[in-house]
Structures are given as C-alpha cells and as structure tokens.
Amino acid sequence: MRIVLTGGGSGGHLFPLIAVANKIREKIGPEAEFLYIGSGVEMENSVMNESGIPTKHVLGGKMRRYFSLQNITDIFKIPIGFLQSLWILFKFVPDVIFSKGGYVAVPVVIAAWIYHIPILIHESDSIPGVSNQFLAKFSNRVAVAYPSAEQYFAQEKVALTGNPVRFQVIEGDAVMMRTQLGFTTSKKTLLVLGGSQGSQIINDAIVKILPQLLYSYQIIHQTGEKNFNEVLAGAAQQGVKAGREGYYAVPFLNANQLRDSFALCDLVVSRAGANFIAEIAANGKPAILIPLENSANDHQRMNAFALAKIGAAIVLDETNLGQHLLLEKIEKILSDNVLRQQMIEQIKTFYHPNAADVIANGVIELARM
C-alpha cells in the first residue's frame, strides 16, 4: 500500500501527518510505504527523516491576503508545481493521498484527482483554510477537528474526528523531567511555547517579567531556534541565567522533552495553533493562549476563542500583551486551584484520543477501494 502525505511545512501540519502514518504502520505493518511531498523547508526534512519517510518537493504558489509582488511570481509556481506533482505521482503510483492542506498541497491533490487517486484531507482549525475549502471539491473525504468547520464542507464527505496527536507527547514523566532540570517540588511550573518556530512577542513578554515569575514559579521556555540567543541575552539583562534559578530555556523541545514538560507543568502559555491546542488538551493542562495576529483566516484567534467560550483557556491579544496583564493572568490561574481544575476539565473535552486511529482507518479504506 503506497500512501502520499502532503501539507504545509509547519509543525501544525507535519506532526498530525506523522501521527496518522504511525497508526497506519501499526495496522498494516511493513506493507505501508510512505512518501511525503512538501515545499522543501528544513523542518519537513528533519521531521520526516526522523520517521523514516522519504520526501519530495514541489513548488507551490501562496496567495497572500495583502499586496505583495510575490503574489505575481507565485502565480507561475502553481503550474510548475502541478507538473512536478504529476511526475512524482506517476513514478510513485500511490493508492491514496492524505493531505493536511496548505498551498503546497494544492498541486499534489489536483494531480491526484486527475489520476483518480482517492484523497482524504484533514482540517485542523475551527475555520477552514482557503486551500482546504478549495481542495475539498477534489477529495473523497474530509476530516475536521472542530464542529464549526463541518458547515464548510459537503455533508456526505465530512466527519468530525478531532486533531491527531503524536503518541510521543502524552503520558510523560514529571519526576524525571524535574530531576533533569533540578526543579523543586515546592514551586509550580510554567511551560512557554511559541509554536514550533518560537514567537518573539511571547518571548519578549516572558523575559520582561522573569524576575517576578521566578520568585514564585519555575519556567520551561521553548524560544525557537532564531530567538534563543536573544532570549538568553534578555534574561541576563534581567539578572537571570538560563539553567539556574528554576529557568530552563531551550530552542526547541523534541517530542520526548515536550511530553515530559507537559507532565511537569501546571500551566501552558502558548500560541493557538490547532496542533498545540490538541497536545495541550491531550495532556489536560490549563492554558493562556496568545493567537498569532496575522494567521491565515484568523484561524488562531478562532481556535482560541472556541476554548475560551467554555472556560478551557484564557485568551490574550498579542497587540495588548502588557507585562502586568500577562503576569496577572498567570498568577490568577496558578494561585486558584479550583479555577485551574475547572479549566483542566473543560480543555480535556477538546481531546479526541482516537483521532489518529479513525483517520488512519479512513486512509486505509480509501486505499483499498
């Protein structure tokens, strides 16, 4: 059985693809042969190589919602990416396509449709992206993570599955992580995540209040590769040295580190990407969500407010992320055990433990049609 995986090159697309691929491998063993078709960003290569999945790259034309000369040049990338996709699919001869959407998936899915290859797409966000709304017309089935997304797709195609979560990031070991970091049991722990590539806005907001935070709490801070040295320098200006005094900063948490960090922490401060929300929910942690201001379709804000509506998270606007407001919200949650437990119970409702399993079954069924 040959399966093509495709989707944008961020962690929000790559990790769910891997979660489903792992489930397919569990079900049919070495019979499953995978190929990932992406845009060629470095993260794609590292994540897929780690999972033993070969990669191919095609051009994709990104249509921005603002004026940019790249909109003009990207128009010419679309037909080239389409021809590349036709050739790659012709050589690989897949039985099925599993797509997470994004502009790079457009030429792949259309080429698959021309070859009459069955297609299943998955939409992670509460409001579907433009690519998936378009690609749904060519797809056999559509899986969605939020009930609000169902209305955007044909009723006979769509099913609510939730977001697939990597098994590597759940059921962590809090004791082992606490020991490794030299953290104490007498202080609560804050986990800061700015997305798979970090967030300068969240980093700056945390660094500004480091001394106040470390007086009462311990911090695990994923900074993003490009922001790591800047965060260390900012912390040093505040009189804080990473690796000491309960502050652990790291460019990127791998799956095992993230799993154990989730287990140890009492509160997560994070962007509101669908993938991170699913992983936070899977670990049952209260969250302060700071949506990316310019995310496509404003999907991060919509994801965050879906949780805030039922009391599962507190949402802060990045344009109004004053240090006093952030500190106040952190202290409010970590000092109120009743509130924190209520948030835990509510965020757990966003976790669909069988999501990867259900989607894997759908992919296998389409491949055997």
Kindly state whether residues 121 and 182 are assigned to the same domain. no
CATH number, domain containing residue 9: 3.40.50.2000
Kindly state whether residues 127 and 207 are assigned to the same domain. no
Instruction: Give per-residue pLDDT as tens, 229-260.
Output: 999 999 999 999 888 889 999 998 988 999 99
Instruction: Give per-residue pLDDT as tens, 36-93.
Output: 999 888 888 888 998 999 999 998 766 545 555 555 666 777 889 999 999 999 999 9
pLDDT at position 176: 96
Q: What's the domain count of the chain?
A: 2
Higher local confidence (pLDDT), 287 or 11: 287
Kindly state whether residues 306 and 241 are assigned to the same domain. yes
Kindly state whether residues 177 and 112 are assigned to the same domain. no
Kindly state whether residues 151 and 196 are assigned to the same domain. no
Query: CB neighbours of 328 closer than 8 A, spacing ≥ 6?
Result: none
Kindly state whether residues 25 and 40 are assigned to the same domain. yes
Amino acid sitting at position 96: V
Kindly state whether residues 297 and 191 are assigned to the same domain. yes
Q: What is the mean pLDDT of the chain?
A: 90
Q: 62-76, 118-132, 339-353: which range is least confident on average?
A: 62-76
Give the predicted TM-score (pTM) of the model.
0.86
pLDDT at position 74: 66
Kindly state whether residues 62 and 126 are assigned to the same domain. yes
Q: Which domain covers residue 119, as residue numbers? A: 2-164+353-367
12 vs 54: CA distance, rounded Å: 19
| pLDDT at residue 270 tops 60 | yes
Average pLDDT value for residue range 202-211? 93
Kindly state whether residues 61 and 103 are assigned to the same domain. yes
Kindly state whether residues 25 and 73 are assigned to the same domain. yes
Q: 51-55, 165-169, 202-206: which range is least confident on average?
A: 165-169
Kindly state whether residues 110 and 195 are assigned to the same domain. no
Question: Cα–Cα distances in Å, from 104 out to 10, 109, 126?
Answer: 12, 9, 21
Kindly state whether residues 140 and 236 are assigned to the same domain. no
- Helix spans in the chain (H): 11-28, 42-50, 70-92, 105-114, 130-135, 174-181, 200-208, 210-216, 228-237, 255-264, 274-282, 299-308, 323-334, 337-347, 355-367
Query: CB neighbours of 112 closer than 8 A, spacing ≥ 6?
Result: 4, 85, 89, 94, 97, 119, 138
